[in-house]
Amino acid sequence: MKQLITAASAVTLLILAGFIGSANAAAIDVKLTDYLAYIDVDHNGDQVRIQRIQDVDHKLDDGFAKTSRKCPPFCVQPMKVAPGVITVGEAEIFRFMDRELVSGNGLIVDARTPSWYKKGTIPGSINIPFTEFVAGEEAPETIKALETLGAVRRGEVGWFTRSFEKLMAKLGLFGADQKTDTWDFSDAKQVVFWCNGPWCGQSPRAIKGLLEQGFPAEKIAYYRGGMQMWKILGLTVVVPDSPESVAMK
């Protein structure tokens, strides 16, 4: 009898926990999507909850509230940054965080320079400034950046081997199209690049630099909205080296 009571109590607790969880979710009036109230991501070893500011009267009062900037250099970027590279929005970012980021198969790259990054970044992102992708094929920072994305630098490749790979690449066999004379991108991660917004050219430059190194376009996504749209939607921003994550104004 005691065991039955204990089991019944456990079931009751589970039901109550589910009820409380549902009540808390229902208390969030401003959700990410119609089916998703928030999402938790790992950011430098800390769990950060991404959700929207709940104050429906909230307005931006920082630099991202501006409508206009001098062009050049702050010119409107095209929706399609390069052939084969997909452009994504916030809902796709949430899905990427929940799948590729969690599984370790993907990375979100803040391609802005450190001065921008230090003001706040999207949770789950790593900062690799666009300058590191355009420094040159043999530049140490470019090599390090590519290796961070999962690319493997190849040793000396014989003429016959490389000729065979090029033939197989044309035929779409053996993943040969994932290799260049210098790099093997077979195990490279799926990567989302972003910067300040539709008026910012930092992530497009990073993507183009990456493509010049032979990185497969199908493994790259471009979040064109960037920090501008992220903040307009009241989404959580983390400040590097800050003890707390904040939904910045």
- What share of the chain has pLDDT > 70, as a percent? 78
At 49-95, the pLDDT tens digits run 999 999 998 998 888 988 899 999 999 999 999 999 999 999 999 99
What is the full DSSP assignment across 192-221? Answer: EEE-S-TT--HHHHHHHHHHHTT--GGGEE
140 vs 117, 143, 145, 243, CA distance in Å? Answer: 21, 5, 9, 32
What gap in Å lies between CA 165 and CA 178, rounded to an integer? 10
What's the token pair of residue 145? 């950046």
Q: What angle do CA 126, 76, 210 make, to 5 degrees?
A: 40
Which of these, 188, 164, 187, lies nearest to 176 by C-alpha position? 164
pLDDT at res. 18: 44
What is the tens place of the pLDDT at every residue in 103-143?
Answer: 999 999 999 999 999 999 999 999 999 999 999 989 999 99
- Contact, 34 vs 95, CB < 8 A? no
pLDDT, tens digit, 9 for 90 and up, residues 5-62: 344 444 444 444 444 344 444 588 999 999 999 999 999 899 999 999 999 989 988 8
**Amino acid identity of 64?**
F
Please give the mean pLDDT across all residues of the chain.
85
Answer whether 0.85 is exceeded by the pTM.
Answer: no
Q: Residue 187 carries which DSSP code?
A: T
| Across 211-217, average pLDDT | 96
- Residue partners of 244: CB distance under 8 A and separation at least 6: none
Higher pLDDT, 175 or 219: 219
